[in-house]
Each structure stands twice: as structure tokens, then as C-alpha cells.
């Protein structure tokens, strides 16, 4: 199914969202029907609920067990249970098989509605109340006439069940032994664009720990606005844009403007195009890497590989010094 997403023009700021339903049993016995979505680029296929095999010890109650899909043993995650609710049993339950962050996982849902082709400027950032209610598992909100669709942070859901994907633990590994730093690192300025506040701050803290100056932004649109300000300041001061910023690190999936569109904006601007852009996203896979290449990304690293990101940042900065 992810092949349909390839038809989207890279850098067009468009995305395809697959809408699915979770019928949740509330504490009072009533049923709440929630409408959710995830990026089609993460979806491999949709199947009927398979026969599952229990596992001796489960790390998380939402993992129902495993099943065999054409020779590959996959975990089956009950999304309703992850939210702390019960899933209403029905014969139409579906399983969404997905791949991101280098991991293939299957998610049990009540049903699948359709695929929506949208522009990222139609996706709203979730408010603080929504984030608190959802345990920070919502990355975007889409308003339709008859319902509201919540885009789930599938990476957070998986990370909560697999400690090997926990970026905070990976960040702890990034120290002086991982990155010996660059002399006068404080003179080098990195711009970060990521809609996840926890990931944004984690990347920033890691880079600041080895001496770089960092500016944080929460979307591609905000990052682009900041770059335009720096461009104007550089022109007024008659200095090179490299005096303002030396590197951009961007997520791909962000409300308003995604990372591919941001990269295309940068690489087609006669002044800003010399700034290296590194895409850091769970969507960096062999099948989708060509999208970043087509908009001019200088490097692409799959989340949650923070140690590699840090080493690449050092490499870009060192190359500017001819070291």
C-alpha cells in the first residue's frame, strides 16, 4: 500500500492519510468510536485479524501476541488497549501492518475507512489539552464536517513498548566518546525543525552538550520563517548566510509544512541553497529515501539513530573547516 504514496510529488507538501476506527469500551460500558489516522507511507498492507500465538512474557499489555505473515513473525498491538481501553469485538476487525524506524509492527483496529489525500497545511498541531488527554500520542488534527480525525504518533506508541527504540536512552550514549566535538563549536549554529517537543529538545540538548548553538522550531513553516529572517539580516549586514546558520536538521512529518517541502524551499532559494539539510525521520527507508534525494537533502538518517545524527553533524561542520 505504501506504493501509492510514491505517486505524491516530493516537496509538494502533500500527504496521504489512512483513516481507521477504534471502537473503545468506556469505563461506564458505553462505546466510543474514535477516528484516527497514520501516514500511508508507513503502511505495508491491511489484513484480517489473524490467529495469534501468545508470548511467554509480554513487555506491554497492549501486545496481544505474535503471528506469522509469510514467514515473518510480527507482534500484534491492540491500539485500544494501549490507550487503556477495551476494544469492542467484531468480525470486521482489521490489522494494519506498518514499517517505520526500521521496525515492522501490526496494529489491531476496529475497521479501516479510506485514504485521504491532503496538504500538510490542513493538519493542525494538537493543543495542549489533546496532548494531555492522549498521553502525547497525537501529532496532528484534521477537521472534517462530521468528525475529527487524530493522527497518531506511531513512533511514540512503539517506543513505549520497545526500549531499544527509546531515543532518550540513545541520547545518553552520545557523549564525548561518541563525538569528540569541534574546536570553537559554539561558533556553529544548527536549526532544528521537529513537531515533537520531546524529540526536538532531545536533539537540541545532545548537540548543545558537545558545544553547538541550536535554534528550535516546531514545524517546517516556522523553520522557513526563521530562515527568511536570517536571510534578510544577512543581506542587510552584507554577510554570507553561513554567518547565520550552518546546518538544518528536519523531521519529515510536520503540520503546516513537511520536511520535504522545507528542503525544497531551501534548495531552490539562491541564497539559502548552500545550507546543508539533514532529514531525520522514521520515514527514512530504502523505499522512500528517493523522496529526500529528489528535493536535495544532503543526508537522511532514520529515527531514532541519534548517535549517527550527531556524528554526521560533526562531519558537516568539520568539512566546513576543511578538517
List, for residues 229-273, the tens digit of each pLDDT value.
Answer: 999 999 999 999 999 999 999 999 988 899 999 999 999 999 999
Instruction: Decide: 196 and 153 in contact? Cβ < 8 Å.
Output: yes
Query: Euclidean distance between the first and final Cα of the chain, in Å?
Result: 44
What are the contacts of 136-141 at 24+ separation with CB within 8 A?
Answer: 136/198, 137/83, 139/195, 139/196, 139/253, 139/255, 140/195, 140/255
What pLDDT was estimated at residue 273? 96
* Residue 4: pLDDT over 70: no
Whether domain 166-318 has CATH 1.10.287.130: the reply is: no
List, for residues 128-148, the tens digit of each pLDDT value.
Answer: 777 767 767 888 899 999 999
Domain ranges for the chain = 2-163, 166-318
Higher pLDDT, 2 or 75: 75
Find the mean pLDDT for residues 167-182: 52
Architecture category of domain 2-163 in CATH: Beta Barrel (2.40)
User: Strand, helix or coil at 273?
Assistant: helix
Q: At what angle do helices 306-320 and 197-209 cross, to 10 degrees?
A: 50
pTM surpassing 0.85?
A: no
Q: How many residues does the chain have?
A: 323
Phi and psi (nearest 5°) for 133? -65, -35
What pLDDT was estimated at residue 278? 96
The band of 176, judged by pLDDT with boundaries at 50, 70 and 90, is: very low
Smallest CA-to-CA distance from 258 within 84, 57, 118 is with: 118
Report the distance separating Cα 246 and Cα 202, nearest Å.
Answer: 19
Rounded-to-10 torsion of CA 254, 255, 256, 258 = 20
The x, y and z cell numbers of residue 128, run together, are: 495542549
What pLDDT was estimated at residue 8? 62
What pLDDT was estimated at residue 5? 45
Amino acid at each position: 500500500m505504501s506504493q501509492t504514496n510514491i505517486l505524491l510529488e516530493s516537496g509538494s507538501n502533500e500527504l496521504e492519510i489512512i483513516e481507521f476506527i477504534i471502537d473503545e469500551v468506556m469505563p461506564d460500558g458505553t462505546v466510543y468510536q474514535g477516528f484516527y489516522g497514520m501516514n500511508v507511507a508507513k503502511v505495508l498492507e491491511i489484513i484480517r485479524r489473524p490467529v495469534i500465538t501468545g508470548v511467554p512474557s509480554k513487555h506491554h499489555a497492549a501486545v496481544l501476541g505474535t503471528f506469522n505473515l509469510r514467514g515473518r513473525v510480527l507482534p500484534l498491538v491492540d491500539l485500544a488497549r494501549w490507550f487503556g481501553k477495551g476494544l469492542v469485538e467484531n468480525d470486521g476487525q482489521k490489522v494494519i501492518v506498518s514499517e517505520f524506524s526500521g521496525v515492522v509492527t501490526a496494529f489491531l483496529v476496529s475497521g479501516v475507512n479510506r485514504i485521504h489525500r491532503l496538504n500538510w497545511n490542513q493538519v493542525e498541531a494538537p493543543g495542549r489539552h489533546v496532548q494531555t488527554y492522549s498521553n502525547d500520542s497525537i501529532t496532528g488534527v484534521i477537521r472534517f464536517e462530521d468528525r475529527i480525525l487524530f493522527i497518531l504518533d506511531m513512533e511514540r506508541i512503539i517506543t513505549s513498548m520497545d526500549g531499544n527504540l527509546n531515543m532518550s536512552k540513545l541520547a545518553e550514549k552520545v557523549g564525548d566518546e561518541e563525538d569528540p566535538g569541534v574546536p570553537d563549536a559554539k561558533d556553529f549554529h544548527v536549526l532544528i525543525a521537529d513537531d515533537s517537543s520531546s524529540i526536538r529538545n532531545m536533539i537540541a540538548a545532545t548537540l548543545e552538550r558537545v558545544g553547538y548553538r541550536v535554534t528550535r522550531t516546531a514545524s517546517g513553516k516556522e523553520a522557513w520563517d526563521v530562515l527568511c529572517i536570517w536571510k534578510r539580516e544577512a543581506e542587510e549586514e552584507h554577510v554570507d548566510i553561513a554567518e547565520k546558520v550552518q546546518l538544518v536538521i528536519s523531521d519529515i512529518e510536520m503540520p503546516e509544512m513537511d520536511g520535504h517541502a522545507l528542503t525544497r524551499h531551501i534548495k531552490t532559494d539562491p541564497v539559502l541553497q548552500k545550507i546543508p539539510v539533514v532529514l531525520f525521520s522514521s520515514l527514512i527507508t530504502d523505499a522512500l529515501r528517493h523522496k529526500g534525494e529528489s528535493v536535495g537533502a544532503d543526508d537522511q538518517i532514520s529515527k531514532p539513530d541519534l548517535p549517527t545524527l550527531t556524528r554526521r553533524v560533526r562531519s558537516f561542520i568539520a568539512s566546513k573547516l576543511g578538517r
